[in-house]
Structure 1
Amino acid sequence: MNILNWNVRGLMAPERHRMVKRHLEKVACDIIMFQETKCCTTDGERFVNHCRGWMGTFQNAEGPSGGLGILWNPNTINVSGVNKSKNWISCQIQSKLNTSSFLLWSIYGPSHTVEKTKLWEDLNQQIRQSGTKKFIVEGDFNEIMDLSEKNRGMSIISRDMLDFREFVQKIEAVDCIPSEGWFKWTNRRMGFTNITE
């Protein structure tokens, strides 16, 4: 099963809209998770209607940032039990091609410490209550596990980083290396002030 995770930074901007649709036609994915869609649920559903062969669900952005979406290929998977909050969408995934089944959380992490702590606690509780060891928690956490996941910027181990590590340990998750490597986010600045994570 192939899963693509994409901080799209505004799904409904016309050029981004076209780029995503072109990408959907090329990739062999079963699930595509979007963070920072910057759109409302209605716009997200309208977008799915223009994507031939895909189904999906969206969570509203709050103000000029945030927003989540999950698209899936209904020929290869079934999706059920969709739940949403401002920072996540969760659902049960069942493959139509084999017997694999798991819970999926698509995350767009908050930037403030208090909200991050609450998110980690809520997710930990949900995963424990699900009673399953088969789950994927993926997305843009707005946090890193280790300084090696950051290029430039402040090089200190923050309280937020330690809290995130603790969350990953509590849920007994494995930190997977992306197939296309690290440093997919940038602050879009030039020269030495450019930071990538």
Structure 2
Amino acid sequence: MKLLSWNARGLGSPRAVRRLRCILRLQNPQMVFFMKTKICKSRMERIRHRCGYVNGIEVDSEGTRGGLCLAWKWGVNVTLRQFFKRHIDVVIDDDEAKGKWRFTGFYGSPYERNRNNSWEELRSLYTGERFHWFVCGDFNEGGVPRDERRMEVFREVLADCGLMDMGFSGRWFKWERGNLPETNIRERLDREVANEDW
């Protein structure tokens, strides 16, 4: 199964939706996880349908922040476990993989004061089941040098859940701001983690 995780940073403009449709046509994933849609559920549902995904779960944005969607094509067997404003948790019965596996799309709080709540939410998803478990999304942790204690807390959360970083290929950063060398910021906020069974 081909899965795409998309940090949309807003799907409110027609230009963003056209770009999204073009990328989805090129990549043709069976399932897509969108985070930071910044739009209401009903609008995201319309966009999902326009992109050719008949099934999905939308989570409302909070004003101009957040918003999640998990979309999948016809023929993909998805069972919803739970969702909340920061995650969508499902089980996928995958013919290609010859079995069931668990997917969690996660969006950590962008605010440091709420980060512990995000980590407790992630910890609450850990069940200890012997499922292949894959978690991806924007954890809003990592990238430019951080307070070592904050990074240690993030590592502890992953360890408590039995999750390991899956690594990456290509550029080490997935987000960039600023054109001048002295003001340029590059970060790797979006991550893919999985348990040992995966």
TM range (shorter): 0.7 to 0.9
Instruction: Identify the range of structure 1 (103-112 vs 175-184) with the bigger mean alpha-carbon deviation.
Output: 175-184
C-alpha offsets along residues 46-79 of structure 1, whole Å, 9 cap, x if unaligned? Answer: 112212254222111112121111111223x211
State the secondary structure of the residue aligned to 2:167.
Answer: coil
* Cα distance change of structure 1 residues 102 and 60 upon mapping to structure 2, 3 Å threshold: same
> 1:19 maps to which residue?
19
> 2:178 maps to which residue?
189
With the length of structure 1 as denominator, give the TM-score of the two structures: 0.85
The letter of the residue matching 2:158 is V
State the distance in 1 between where 2:139 and 2:18 align. Answer: 26
1:96 deviates by: 3.2
* Cα distance change of structure 1 residues 53 and 87 upon mapping to structure 2, 3 Å threshold: closer
State the distance in 2 between where 1:86 and 1:133 align. Answer: 24
Q: Is the 8 A contact 2:108 2:138 kept in 1?
A: yes
1:168 deviates by: 0.8
* Cα distance change of structure 1 residues 119 and 156 upon mapping to structure 2, 3 Å threshold: closer
Q: Number of matched residues?
A: 186
Any runs of at least 4 consecutive aligned residues in structure 1 with deviations exceeding 6 A, and if so which?
A: none
Counterpart pick for 1:132 among 130, 133, 139: 130
* Cα distance change of structure 1 residues 116 and 96 upon mapping to structure 2, 3 Å threshold: same
> 2:45 maps to which residue?
45
1:116 deviates by: 1.7
State the distance in 1 between where 2:17 and 2:28 align. Answer: 19
> 2:159 maps to which residue?
169
Q: Is the 8 A contact 2:60 2:68 kept in 1?
A: yes
CA RMSD of aligned residues (A): 1.9
1:117 deviates by: 1.1
* Cα distance change of structure 1 residues 52 and 184 upon mapping to structure 2, 3 Å threshold: same
The letter of the residue matching 1:125 is S
The letter of the residue matching 1:88 is H
Map 1:69-80 onto structure 2 (within 5 A). Answer: 69-75=69-75, 77-80=76-79
The letter of the residue matching 1:31 is M
State the secondary structure of the residue aligned to 2:29.
Answer: coil
Q: Is the 8 A contact 1:107 1:139 kept in 2?
A: yes
C-alpha offsets along residues 16-61 of structure 1, whole Å, 9 cap, x if unaligned? Answer: 0011111111113222111110011111111122122542221111
The letter of the residue matching 1:23 is I
The letter of the residue matching 1:18 is R
* Cα distance change of structure 1 residues 22 and 122 upon mapping to structure 2, 3 Å threshold: same
- Which structure is higher in strand share? 2
Q: Is the 8 A contact 1:44 1:57 kept in 2?
A: no
State the secondary structure of the residue aligned to 2:166.
Answer: coil
- Tell whether 2:59 aligns with 1:87: no
State the distance in 2 between where 1:23 and 1:157 align. Answer: 36
> 2:9 maps to which residue?
9
